[in-house]
Chains A and B, each alone.
Chain A
Amino acid sequence: MSGKSLSTKKFAAFVIIVALVVAVVVWFADPVWRVLAVAVAAIIVVVFGSGAGDGQAKADSHQVGEAPLRSALGLLMKDFAQEERAQFQSSNADLERVKDLLSHAIQELVQRFGEMNLHIQSQRDLALAIVANMTSQEQGEERVSFSEFVLNTSKTMEAFVDNTVNTSKIAMSLVETMDLIDKEVNTIINILGEIESISKQTNLLALNAAIEAARAGEAGRGFAVVADEVRALSQRTNHFSQQIRTHMEGVHTSMLVAHDSIYEVASLDMNFALQSKQRVQSTMTRIGQINHDMADLANQINQHAGQVSVEVNAAVTALQFQDMSSQLIDHAQSRINNVAQLVEVIANQIDKSPDLGSGLSQARDAMRAKVTVDSNRNHPVKQESMSSGDIELF
């Protein structure tokens, strides 16, 4: 037994010395490796030292060489704890800076996103207001929609053009009526020719009658008077016929002038009115199309603004990674702090114990007790993605 115990003891001492040498060498190499190497050395010391210590503590507590070893180990652990504490404090400070930087950056981003969203919504409201102004306008105290205004204008123009066309039709009808009147006037003038012819024959007959009356002498005197009267009537008839002819020819001339003027006006107005009607219809169709296009554009702006809101919401959801990261960093800091405390616990136990074996054993017990307490701490962030979390109403 003593041979095996001695061998185990020698092996443990050898491993511990090797670990300490490696730790000291690495200590001067690099701060990061320094911490890691000392941690490994400490674990080796705890494991082998304790294992060896269990078997030898009672029998060999007075062994020559243990006191310097315990002292060296205690000093090493204290130095390690001190250095580790400094490193962890530095890491904590860096992590706090990361949290602060993230927090400020995210707040700034949320602020900017919020303002961007507000500007987009204002832009949408302005676009909708423009369309609203295009589709309605002040008319006295009433607001008339622009489409109604276009419709009313179109109707008014159509009524105006229809009236003009109707007037032209009436004018054409007048021209035709005047043609008829002119024909009647010509007929009357022809009839007047007949009357004048009858008047001439009557005058000739009266002259013959007067001649015959003169040949009859005294007996024909009365007949001669009648013949003269008939002749006078014939001349008056002829005179009146001439007057009527003169007037009728004046009417005929005036009718021709009026006919030509009305015909010309009717023809010109008809073309102008039809062209105007087409132009008004074309303009109104174009205005209606512009109005419709503007409404479509405003609708598209509205849709884009809605999409921006959705995207901003998604960004705000995603930006909450900072809160989760911050909690995870807190949790990591807490764990780092636990490790620091663990090393201090081990160092203290080794330092205050009377011998190395019991010190290491107590250090292991204390370490296990602390690890059990720490591992029961709740982990605050379970989420593994940035999709929005569950909602539950009780």
Chain B
Amino acid sequence: MGKTVLTVDDSASIRQMVAFTLKSAGYDVIEAVDGEDGLNKAKGKVADLVLTDQNMPKMDGLTLIKSLRGLPDYRSKPILMLTTESSDAMKAAGKAAGATGWLVKPFDPQKLLEVVKKVIG
């Protein structure tokens, strides 16, 4: 059974591109439309990796990471930010919130796949 990746992004096209990239490599992909939806879906099924955007309605990426780190199942799970935000301040905030890594959009599907493989195999 393939490993599960939860992708959280308010952009349907980005979710589609992430799903297309990861599914073609054999991963199961769960999609969530914002931080709140991501938190609910993360509780529903424990993902091996969470990929989240920063700027989303209802709940942003950093808040989602903080919430997930409060859950026993996600204390040590890798969580990657995938966002257009690229400032050092935002990255530092992400690191402090518990992000495993920071990927700046636009992403290269091949490089995304390499990072995902490196993080969860």
Contact = CB atoms under 8 A, between A and B. Distances in A.
Q: Do chains A and B stick together as partners?
A: yes
A309 to B, nearest CB: 8
Nearest to B54: A380
B109 A313 contact: yes
A374 B119 CA distance: 39
Contacts of B71: none
B95 A394 contact: yes
Contacts of B91: 392
A29 interface: no
Interface string A227-250: 000000000000000000000000
Contact of B107 (A111, A322, A388): A388
Interface in A78-106: 103, 106
Interface string B92-109: 001100011111111111
Given A103-B11, A107-B13, A380 B84 contact: yes
A388 B111 contact: yes
A7 B86 CA distance: 55
Main secondary structure of the interface of A (DSSP, over half): helix
Given A110-B17, A111-B16, A316-B21, A383 B111 contact: no
Interface residues of B, number: 34
Contacts of B20: 110, 114, 316
Nearest to B20: A114
Interface bracket on A: 35 or more
Contacts, number: 106
Interface in A94-150: 103, 106-107, 110-111, 114, 117-118
B101 A380 contact: no
B37 interface: no
A393 to B, nearest CB: 4
Nearest to B110: A313
B40 interface: no
B28 interface: no
A393 B101 contact: yes
A390 interface: yes
Interface in B57-111: 84-87, 91, 94-95, 99-111
Nearest to B118: A393
A382 B87 contact: yes
7 contacts: A107-B12, A107-B16, A114-B24, A388-B106, A391-B115, A393-B100, A394-B95
Interface of A: 103, 106-107, 110-111, 114, 117-118, 310, 312-314, 316-324, 326-327, 380-383, 386-394
7 closest A-B pairs by beta carbon, nearest first, are A389-B104, A320-B106, A388-B108, A393-B101, A313-B109, A106-B13, A323-B11
